[in-house]
Amino acid sequence: MHDAAMLLAVLVATLRAATPLVLAGLGELVAERAGVLNLGLEGMMLVGAVTGFIAAVATGNLAWGLLAAMLAGAAMAAAFAFLTLGLRANQVATGLALTIFGVGFSALVGNSYQSQPIQGLATTLFPELSTAGPLLQQVLLIDPLVWLSLVAPVLVHRFLYRSRAGLILRAVGESHDVAHAFGYHVIRIRVLATLFGGAMSGLAGAYLSLAYTPMWTENMVAGRGWIALALVVFSTWKPGWLVVGAWLFGFVTIAGFQAEALGLSVSPQLLATLPYLSTIIVLVLISRDRVRLKLNAPAALGKPFNPAA
């Protein structure tokens, strides 16, 4: 029974650690499939985290917090879309500026809420969590957003590869000129894809502040936005492989805590860097196969489109 509880605990912890990466990564994957490169995931996740937390505290309802986080992420993405798709600003520079803005803005508005704990999503849904047995407690920790991280990749895959709208979106990402010639509204499609990416990033940030560690702390996203961006490349823009990469990162993340729990004398600093180090190693290995990346990357990724040209 103890071994079963330990195995289930590792599995649940891996899924929970991977959830924000899956949510944010899927949003960015859809945006990049449409040809939009948004490097502002870190900033959108932070704004989503602080907005969701403030809304949840103000209303006393976590559902409103999640909705507010998605709207905040979408608003950030709308600003990005206006600058890059409307004014044709450089997507890389604008995305970096979005992250810098998100870091500063979230720290400013969240200052008075710093380290203020609230009742988390799992505890709110399952009040008996604290008194449940070890096995049931682990099962109850799988909150709706974790389940969403398991279902969303299937839905995104079906949308991209089994629907007409997904085919059009991918066509826009491959060649916006051809898609425009066929009568498709390239800018509208890219704006919608960008807004979806922003909403998913906001939701991923809210998961951190309302479920994973139910409190707000400055810069609590801790680089997960950049990891989600890396996972899109790791997955070669395929939802299934993105999930696998997120689970790998999640397992490496909780492996450090398990090592400490088992009494292994490993430097805490080294354990903290393992997830990021493993991501760098994987990306280096992937980048060596340039042909594979070139074949799978959307051909129009990051390229501006001028309908008047």
For position 91, what pLDDT does the model report?
96
**Residues 203 and 21 sit within 8 Å (Cβ to Cβ):** no
Of residues 305 and 266, which shows the higher confidence score?
305
- Domains along the chain with CATH numbers: 2-296 (1.10.3470)
- Please check whether residue 189 is in contact with residue 171, taking contact to mean a CB–CB distance below 8 angstroms: no
Task: Specify the higher pLDDT residue, 28 or 274.
Answer: 28
Percent helix, strand and coil across the chain, each to the nearest 5:
75, 0, 20
pLDDT above 70: residue 66: yes
107 with 218: CB under 8 angstroms? yes
- Among left, alpha and beta (phi > 0; psi -120 to 50; other), residue 293 is alpha
pLDDT tens, 74-86? 999 999 999 999 9
| Residue range 3-22: mean pLDDT, rounded | 83
121 Cβ contact list (under 8 Å, min separation 6)? 62, 143, 144, 145, 210, 211, 214
Lowest mean pLDDT among 30-44, 149-163, 243-257: 243-257
The SS3 of residue 297 is coil
Q: What is the mean pLDDT of residues 288-304?
A: 81
Distance of CA 284 to CAs 144, 280, 299, Å? 34, 6, 21
Q: In this structure, what token pair is assigned to residue 244?
A: 């696998």
Residue 11: per-residue pLDDT: 83
Mean pLDDT for all residues in the chain: 86
**Averaged pLDDT, 141-164:** 92
Q: Which two tokens stand for residue 108?
A: 């400013």
**177: pLDDT confidence band, cut at 50, 70 and 90?**
very high
Q: In angstroms, how far is the first alpha carbon of the chain from the final one?
A: 68
Q: What are the pLDDT digits (tens) for 195-239?
A: 999 999 999 999 999 999 889 999 999 889 999 999 998 888 999
Residue 216's DSSP bridge partners are 114
- Kindly report, residue by residue over 112-132, the tens digit of the pLDDT: 998 888 887 765 655 555 555
Cβ atoms of residues 146 and 126 within 8 Å: no
State the Cα–Cα distance between residues 69 and 77, nearest whole angstrom: 12
Contact 109, 49 (CB under 8 A): no
Phi and psi at 51, nearest 5°, equal -65, -45
Q: How confident is the model at residue 135 (pLDDT cuts 50, 70, 90)?
A: low
The two structure tokens encoding residue 120: 């988390």
> If pLDDT is split at 50, 70 and 90, which confidence band does 266 have?
low
